[in-house]
Amino acid sequence: MKKSTYWLYGILIVLFMSACAPTMSTKSSEFPLMYEENPVTILILPPMNESTAADAKEYYSTTIQEPLAFYGYYTFPYPITADILKMEGIYDTELLINTPLAKFKEYFGADAVLFTTIKKWDLSYMVLASTLTVSVDCQLKSTTSDQTLWKYNGTVVVDLSGGNTGGGVAGLIAKAIVTAMSTAMADYVPYARQANYRALASMPYGKYHAQHNKDQQVQFIDQTPETSDSPNANPTQ
């Protein structure tokens, strides 16, 4: 009995460590410009959608604000900025990516602009576990220097099977029903938000976060493939 308790401790400690401190890159070595320019205000541009899901754009744009706020940034309300951009005749974010961004500073007072390309937004339906696979390519660009301050290029897989409903055959059946229900309801907002949280994991904390300017040495799993800078659609399939 005693021995198994120790084992349990060991496993939990390993789990705890492995989840929070993977040794790959530090925030300051990877994104030094974030600490140099210290952006406070972020303008979220309408995402570019290269996935096959028609809803991906709405899911993304309505769930990105919240995580960014929790990371300590001031984000302009997306409904307002999207409206203004439309009035100004800006429908296509793609056309903006290589243009000078000073106009966003002038107009909105934005320190940085977030460009996002949704590469993949796939739902896989299985009996016991459905997953949402979100693959995005985000870039936070400065409105003063036009340089890329932070970027993320990767895939997040979110489990949609609605938690554990207990063991046994009855449990499995219950789980299958929950899975079916949650995929049928098509309410992916919480999952989209979860995917966004994880995509932002390497972003240095902003002004309104207690860890602001204290997280330079924080390490994260570097998922940014240095070589694939060119946006090639669908590497798999």
Partner 1 sequence: MNGKLTWILAICISIFFAGCVPKQTYYFGNYSKTLYALEKYQNEETLIRHKQELEKIISESQVQNLAVPPGIYAELGYIYLKENKSKEAVTLFETESQLYPESKHLMDRLIQSAKAKESSDTNVSNISTTATDNSDSK
* 12 touches partner 1 by CB under 8 A: yes
Q: How far is 36 from 149, CA to CA, in rounded Å?
A: 9
* 79 touches partner 1 by CB under 8 A: yes
Report the residue number, 42 or 178, with the smaller CB distance to partner 1: 42
* 35 touches partner 1 by CB under 8 A: no
Selection from 76, 54, 67, 35 nearest residue 138 by Cα: 67
Tally of residues, the chain:
237
> Any idea which residue has 């040495």 for tokens?
217
Cα–Cα distances in angstroms (integers) from residue 25 to residues 35, 36, 95, 202, 217, in the given order: 15, 18, 32, 9, 9
Q: How far is 156 from 132, CA to CA, in rounded Å?
A: 8
* 88 touches partner 1 by CB under 8 A: yes
Report the residue number, 105 or 172, with the smaller CB distance to partner 1: 105
User: Quick one: the chain helix, strand, coil %, rounded to 5?
Assistant: 40, 20, 40
Binding mask 171-190 for partner 1 (x = CB under 8 A): ----------------x-xx
Stretches 53-61, 90-98, 126-134, 135-143: which one binds partner 1 (CB under 8 A)?
Answer: 53-61
Q: How far is 235 from 232, CA to CA, in rounded Å?
A: 7
155 DSSP 8-state letter:
E
* 80 touches partner 1 by CB under 8 A: yes
Q: How far is 69 from 149, CA to CA, in rounded Å?
A: 18
The b/e string for 106-121 (b: 16+ C-beta within 10 A; e otherwise) is eebebbbbbbbbbbbb
Report the residue number, 40 or 129, with the smaller CB distance to partner 1: 40
Stretches 82-90, 117-125, 135-143, 159-167: which one binds partner 1 (CB under 8 A)?
Answer: 82-90
Stretches 25-33, 80-88, 112-120, 145-153: which one binds partner 1 (CB under 8 A)?
Answer: 80-88
Tell which positions 186-225 bind partner 1, by CB under 8 A: 187, 189-190, 192-193, 197, 208-210
* 98 touches partner 1 by CB under 8 A: no
Residues that bind partner 1 (CB under 8 A): 1, 5, 8, 12, 15-16, 19-20, 40-41, 55, 58-59, 61-63, 65-66, 69-71, 73-80, 83-84, 87-88, 107-109, 111, 187, 189-190, 192-193, 197, 208-210
